[in-house]
Structure 1
Amino acid sequence: MKAVFHIGRPKTGSTTLQVFLEQNCKVLARRGVFYDRIVPDISSQWEFPIAALAELGHLPPDPYIRRMLGLEDVADARAYADEMMQAVTQHLAAAPKSMHTWVGSSEHAWPYLFDQERIGTFDRLMKSHFDEVTYVVYLRRQEDLILSAYSEAVRRGVDKSFQDFVETFLKKGHGNHMKNLRQWANVAGEERLVVRLLERDALKGGDLVEDFCDVLGTDASGLVRPDIYNPSLTQKSLDAFLLINRHIASVTTKDETLQSLRTELCRASEYWGADGPALTLPLPLLNRIRSQLGPSNEKLRERFFPDREELFPPKTPKAPDGAARARKLEPTNDSN
């Protein structure tokens, strides 16, 4: 059986694709496409990148996931990996013979596997289960990615100011698509790496789901389309989340009562602020991001998208409306 593994970068529609696969798994199975979660309640199949890390003696870097899975040391991680990979073997052995393609997705693969040693270990792990492995990744324009990433970080408990977050984001190279993509291409080869842009003019039919179906080699017709999942916080909700995070940090607070309180407060804050304005970038910061990441984007364009004049062309400004007049995320030195 061949495999298509979606390297679901955070904030690139990964949850939407995972929900799509779950909602349509029976129809896809009739078409010979096998989608099978070892852990039914977890949409990201993080057991695969975690298993690769464990083989190299590393724990998953996310403290939330370590706490959730009870991974206190490498021995715990290896025991978890062994259990998960044995389950994978059993599930594949029980799959109907009509299945020709297995499909998986994890947004933890990209941030966890960032050098050739880690990616190579992951690739060997995948090839131990499948005859042929193809990887697909969707790349999002960085100015949109940063806004969504900040929203998600705040949702998870970060209380940094937007300016501090952007500085760290750029310094660590999180917006440099080519940096990590080069490592994947060097390990898997470009013939096993499908790179797509999360741009309407670059997606088949201008649609993420239709484009992903094209990668799988199946028609999107007859399949249920999911709603948009995991939307970004509005500015109004984000302000409330920051206030909560400064008093109850989800990453460091182990008290279950406080964690439950934080969950309820955040749920109420998201509902309360749902009608607020969207997060936006001030023009000077937008220009800085595009200028700083422009050279790496050009290298990526030359290598993977030579027919495009520009990887991510500037967006056409929208006509002023209520959202456009809303307060922007102005950089500030005040983190309180």
Structure 2
Amino acid sequence: MELAPFDLTVHIGSGKTGTTSLQAFLADNREELVRRGWLYPRTPGPARHVQFGMLMMPDNELTQYRAWKRSGETDPEAFRRRVRRRLLSEIGEAAVDNVLISDEGMFSSSPRRIAQVRRFADNRARSLRLVAYVRRQEDHLLSRYQQVVKMGNTARLTEWYAANGGRMYDYHAVLRRWRDGARADALVVRPFERAKFHQGSLYQDFVDAAGMGIRADQLVAPSDRNESLCAEAVELLRLINLFRIEEQGAEPWQITNAPLVRTLAMESGPTLSLPRSDLDAFMARWEEPNRRVAEEFLEEEDRPLFSSPSRKERVDVQRLDPARLDYYLPLLGLPEAEWAGIRRVAEREAAA
């Protein structure tokens, strides 16, 4: 099928910047967006376009990717041919001027993956626009730890931070890699801060960043997708992950905690953090890269990159009193046959 020319916009993330809410917003308004000349395709994923991001990966990255392992696919090239064919067919049938892709997993892409995005645009689009959101590093770090625990990780925050504290947080280096490798017609960078959102709305901020020329309040807003967990709930999930791996033989990538997260998100309490001194030292590492991002990628009115630190109530002790399992295990509806094993893990970890 010969495609009519279209402009391609790729929302590359980063993660933990409202991406789930934005993707739900775009998916819920898919038909209306087509009427306005914008295709948010179904082929790469019903909401998040994870298969587009996978389509751009070289084999050595793809076969190690969590979504690939869960997909049951075995042939990378056959997967690419199928997804590419279906995506181009959907674009051709829509016959619109604009195609919008969103996958936050692309933010930290390797140069080879970025080059594939450029190649895809060269072969099929008349222009390429990239949209990226960046969040204050300490807030992103703590939110990201919650996410990896939701996905099966078993490390304590301090251990995980030691291994992951520097990854992806030099935003200037990441954005420069995209700027130089993708050679996009536009690279729009927005701070993930409510005070800087256009009209105080993430949705309006995004449609403006994407150049959609749409009023977000004329579209359907999705329900709140924020599933932030209190410190106690995060530690409980970590203990359940340990039980699943140690006593049930699960691999981390096989663990799905979504039903538990929805229940635990209703629990209140302070969030888990590193000690303030560690966070201050962590943020000091990014002061100069953040200044350069603001100078090179932001409009004057959006500088500096981030405003004051988060004022959320936080605790830096990661521990669950095993007695609290009497409340949580029935609440989560876990099989009673698992309770003793989870309790063993909880008692061991509390004593460590």
1:110 aligns with 2:110: no
Match of 1:274 in 2: 266
Residues 245 and 252, structure 2, Cα contact 8 Å, conserved in 1: no
> How much does 1:230 deviate?
4.7
Match of 1:125 in 2: 120
Q: Partners in 1 of 2:148 and 2:63 — Cα distance?
A: 15
Query: After superposition, where does 1:234-273 map in structure 2 within 5 Å?
Result: 234-249=230-245, 253=250, 263=256, 267-268=259-260, 271-272=263-264
1:206 aligns with 2:200: yes
Match of 1:219 in 2: 215
Query: Could you give the per-residue CA deviations for residues 255-302 of structure 1, whole angstroms, max 9, x where no partner exists?
Result: 99xx6xx657x7346525622314143321221121121121112122
The letter for the 1-side match of 2:48 is S
Match of 2:62 in 1: 60
Match of 1:185 in 2: 179
Match of 1:82 in 2: 81
> How much does 1:199 deviate?
1.4
Residue number among 301, 306, 317 corresponding to 1:312 in the alignment: 306
SS at structure 1 position matched to 2:285: helix
Residues 10 and 101, structure 2, Cα contact 8 Å, conserved in 1: yes
> What's the % identity of the aligned pairs?
24
> How much does 1:317 deviate?
4.6
> How much does 1:197 deviate?
0.9
Residue number among 133, 140, 144 corresponding to 1:138 in the alignment: 133
Change in 2 beyond 3 A, CA 1:239/1:280:
closer
Residues 48 and 122, structure 1, Cα contact 8 Å, conserved in 2: no
Residues 50 and 77, structure 1, Cα contact 8 Å, conserved in 2: no
Q: Partners in 2 of 1:306 and 1:10 — Cα distance?
A: 22
Change in 2 beyond 3 A, CA 1:154/1:110:
same
Match of 2:53 in 1: 49
Q: Partners in 2 of 1:299 and 1:240 — Cα distance?
A: 39
> How much does 1:304 deviate?
1.5
> How much does 1:226 deviate?
1.4
> How much does 1:196 deviate?
0.8
The letter for the 1-side match of 2:202 is L
Change in 2 beyond 3 A, CA 1:52/1:268:
closer
Change in 2 beyond 3 A, CA 1:235/1:95:
same
The letter for the 1-side match of 2:24 is V
Match of 1:233 in 2: 229
SS at structure 1 position matched to 2:243: coil
The letter for the 2-side match of 1:244 is I
Change in 2 beyond 3 A, CA 1:202/1:57:
same
Q: Partners in 2 of 1:273 and 1:133 — Cα distance?
A: 38
Change in 2 beyond 3 A, CA 1:310/1:28:
same
Residues 29 and 219, structure 2, Cα contact 8 Å, conserved in 1: yes
> How much does 1:2 deviate?
0.8
Match of 1:321 in 2: none
Match of 2:294 in 1: 301
SS at structure 1 position matched to 2:129: strand
Residues 150 and 256, structure 2, Cα contact 8 Å, conserved in 1: no
1:12 aligns with 2:8: no
1:289 aligns with 2:291: no
The letter for the 2-side match of 1:271 is T
Match of 2:334 in 1: none
Match of 1:148 in 2: 143
Residue number among 311, 329, 332 corresponding to 2:316 in the alignment: 329
Higher mean alpha-carbon deviation, 80-89 vs 192-201, is at 192-201
TM-score, normalised on structure 2?
A: 0.80
Question: How many residues are paired up?
Answer: 312
Q: Partners in 2 of 1:220 and 1:197 — Cα distance?
A: 19
Change in 2 beyond 3 A, CA 1:129/1:190:
closer
The letter for the 2-side match of 1:88 is L
Change in 2 beyond 3 A, CA 1:280/1:59:
closer
Residues 205 and 211, structure 1, Cα contact 8 Å, conserved in 2: yes
